[in-house]
Structures are given as C-alpha cells and as structure tokens.
Amino acid sequence: MKTTVFPKYLTDFLTRYLPAERGVSSNTVLSYKDTFMLLITFMKSEKGITAERIEIKDITKNNILAFLDWLHSERGCSDSTRNARLTALHSFFKYLQYEDPMYLHACGQVLSIPLKKTASPTVTYLALDTIKAILDGPDLSQKRGRRDLALLSIMYDTGARVQEIIDLTPAMVRLDSPCTVRLRGKGNKSRIVPLMDAQVGFLRDYMAENDLLEPRAAQHPLFSNSRREKLTRAGISHILSKYVLLAQQRVKDMVKGAVTPHVIRHSKAMHLLQAGVNLVYIRDILGHVSVKTTEIYARADSRKKREALEGAYSEVKPENIPSWLKNNNLMGWLKEFGK
C-alpha cells in the first residue's frame, strides 16, 4: 500500500521538533496533537480522505479554512479555540517549510491565514478579604486539611498556574532564607518566586509531616492524593471549590461566580498591583514573557485608575468671575452693558 510523507513529518514535528528544538511544554505538545486529531477527523468526515491517505497537498489553505469553519459549526468552538488550533497548524507548516523547501508555496498559503480578532478577556479576581475567607476553610486538625492549606497558600502567594503547582517537587522549594520556590512554566522556562514567612511555616510543617524534607523524596510530588500520586487539574479545582463553598456559607455574597485556580492567580496579580508593586516585578512573578501581558491587570483595576485621576486632578476655577454671574438680574446687566 502506498504510504504518504504526512505521518512522517507529523510524527517528527510532535516527538522531536516541538520538545527538542522548540523546547515547548508537554501540555503544548498534547494540545497540538489534539489539533491534528481533529483535522484528521475533519478530513475523513468532510473530505472522504482517511488518515492513511492524507498527503501534504491535501492540507490546502481552502481545506484549512473549511476545517476552521467546521470547528465553529460542528463542534461549537469559540474564536479563541479556533485561534489556538490555527496556531498549532501555523507551527507545523513553519516547521515543514524549513524541513522540506518543496512545500514552501503550500506552507506560505496556510501561514497567510490570519488569526481572528477576539475580545479582550475580562479579568476576574477576588478581594483580599475573600482570599482570607477561603484560606480560613481547611480544618487544621485533619492531615488533609493541613495539606489543603499549604496548597492553597502557595497557589495564592506565588500566583502560579495550576500546572506549575502540579509539577512542584520538594527539590524546587528552598526553605532557608531567602525562602523561594522554583516554578516551571510555559515552554519549560523556570522562574524563582519568593515565599512569605507565613507561607513558609505552613509549608515546612506540611513537608515535615509527609517526610518530604528527606533527600529521597526530592523528586516526589509536593502535593499528592491519598495514593501518593501527583494531583490533577481536576483534583486541585475540586479542593479549591470545596473551600470556596465553605467561604460562601460563612460570609454571604462574599464569593460570587466561579472561582478557578486561574482566578486565584489573577487575584494575586491584582493585589500586588494595588499594593504598588511595579508591573515589571509582577511580570517576573507571574512568568509572563512580556510586560504587555501583565498590563491587562493595570487596565482592569478601576481603583488604580481612579487614584491616578485623583492624583492628577487639580481644581480649576477662573480667577475673575464674569460680571454677569454677579448680577442675578440679566435684564439689568444688559441695560448697564456698554455704558
């Protein structure tokens, strides 16, 4: 049976180029893999071309545009998801044009497809009192409660992404002064984030209780389930939701709407900004590539905007009040005018 080169290039793209040459995270590789699984499904259902028969020449600009429309109409994907799928395809065709210049024209056609403009995301964040109410939830008389407090505290104090929390190991935590944690973010890029004294106390007690200070445990998950397995995204979301619900029951109307781990990250960023921390430092703590990404918090903070306006405001009034304002009798003023 005739074979095509598309599987060869796709395999090399996912297994070598992305992780080795580009250094992208395993999550990004999996996301790109999902894009191609969807594309293969589309090619079979809409174009009658099975996975074994797909060739590079079949993945034309028109077919990619039809695929993107199919994501909207058949799968109900948002513009943001559509853009994420297109970004994966762009990455593959950038790889392909250097790997085999024979496909240079075809690659250029696909790379010319623009991303759709999307509305700027709304930053949802919690007030500091709300964060305190959530952290008051864990029952410290229970081992699981002590784990949950350490988890939620480090999640808020570092502003970490949920995957960064999942990937933490004891080796990435420094409990000697200055106390820090090393987070491994997008693109496997690491950053050092300082820990607050109160957080260090919770964390040290938790690690000692679970034998995580021992050298043999250096590469174990810092936060694990009852089977000593690394927590999942769903597991961390479940833990957070549990204490959000408790906070809602204790203080009515304090917590509104869904609270996800990313909302906790947004909250930390906003609280740093409101405390007067420079955007450059907030960028480094959050692990943003550019300060432009961090600027969304400055744009979202209405309190800071108001303070800036109040600081720039000075009362302006005319030194000389017009004479017609001194005279309540307009007709009398008019009669006297010019005399």
Q: Does the N-terminal peptide bond of residue 178 adopt cis geometry, omega within 30 degrees of 0?
A: yes
User: Is 288 assigned a catalytic role?
Assistant: yes
| Residue 144 annotated as catalytic | no
Q: Which two tokens stand for residue 238?
A: 């479940």
Instruction: Give residues with Cβ within 8 angstroms of 251, minimum separation 6.
Output: 133
Please confirm, yes or no, whether 186 is among the known catalytic residues. yes
Identify whether 313 is a catalytic site residue: no
Inter-residue contact 181 to 158 (CB < 8 Å): yes
Spot the catalytic one: 8, 256, 262, 305. 262
Give the integer Cα–Cα distance in Å for 240 and 260: 7
DSSP string for 250-287: HSTTSS-S---HHHHHHHHHHHHHHTT--HHHHHHHHT
Active-site annotation holder among 161, 268, 271, 283: 161
Exposed e or buried b per residue across 159-195, where buried means at least 16 C-beta atoms within 10 angstroms of its C-beta: bbbbbbbbbbbbebbebeeebbbebbbeeeeebebeb
Catalytic pick from 94, 186, 204, 233?
Answer: 186
Active site residue 105: no
For 283-296, b where at least 16 C-beta lie within 10 A, e where not — what string?
Answer: bebbbbeeeeebeb
Q: Looking at 147, 265, 271, 283, which residue is catalytic?
A: 265
Q: Please report, in angstroms and rounded to a whole number, the separation of the first and last CA atoms in the chain.
A: 109
For the CA atoms of 115, 116, 120, 124, the dihedral, rounded to the nearest 10 degrees, stands at -80
Q: Which sign, positive or negative, has the C-alpha torsion 98, 99, 101, 102?
A: negative
Q: Is 238 a catalytic residue?
A: no
* Side chain identity at residue 151, one-letter code: L
Name the residues annotated as catalytic. Answer: 161, 186, 262, 265, 288, 297
